[in-house]
Amino acid sequence: MILGKRVRLAPIERSLIPRYVEWLNDPEVIAGLTIHWAITLAGEEAWFDGLANRDPVEVPLSIQVLTDGTWLTVGNIGFHAMDHVTHASEIGIFIGDKRFWNSGYGTDAMRLMLRYGFGTLNLHRIWLRVFASNPRAVRCYEKAGFVHEGTMRDSGYKDGKYVDTHFMSVLRHEWQDVDV
């Protein structure tokens, strides 16, 4: 468990799978994700079963927010493609419960993962890819301390159009641990 004041990152439970299926079939949620197909309950159950064989530091965590005194799961966040030579890892996030967009929860979750990545896992570089057509995500990452590195032109395809993909990152020496 990675604890913040109003966001915490917790292990994913099997009981959450139906909620993930619902969120990952929502066109607004997946507009910023590289999902181009229906997500099935069977597929998500197989994905969940596969987590047991993954490197434990690459198992995604559920994002929980404190509402009315209760911790509610709203999405997930995780490292992947971790490189143990360069101490670098890609990170991905989604908040599937749209009621919780634009309230700073994504930024808090990212800040908690930066603390975990740099402070606990001894990473040197944490990076991500984001569609240029996703300004909410870009702003969220900028607030968390990510800087723009470059753009891969026409590298995504959404709604009948090619979209640019921005690369963003934080290096360990740039990271400022913020109280969240």
Ligand X SMILES: CC(C)(COP(=O)(O)OP(=O)(O)OC[C@H]1O[C@@H](n2cnc3c(N)ncnc32)[C@H](O)[C@@H]1OP(=O)(O)O)[C@@H](O)C(=O)NCCC(=O)NCCS
Q: Is 87 exposed, middle or buried (0-12, 13-18, 19+ CB in 10 A)?
A: middle
Tokens of 8: 């915490």
The CB-side HSE value for 129 (13 A sphere, CA atoms) comes to 14
Contact range with ligand X by CB under 6 A, out of 13-21, 43-51, 79-87, 136-144: 136-144
Q: What is the DSSP letter of 104?
A: S
Piece of 5-13, 80-88, 115-123, 129-137 that binds ligand X (CB under 6 A): 129-137
Q: Would you give the DSSP letter of residue 178?
A: -
Options 64, 76, 89, 107; binder of ligand X; rule CB under 6 A: 107
- Closer residue to ligand X (CB): 49 or 177: 177
Q: Does 127 participate in binding ligand X (rule CB under 6 A)? A: no
84 is a contact residue toward ligand X (CB under 6 A)? no
Minimum CB separation of residue 95 from ligand X in Å reads 4
Nearest Cα to Cα of residue 80 among 148, 36, 34: 34
Q: C-beta of 151: minimal distance to ligand X in Å?
A: 14
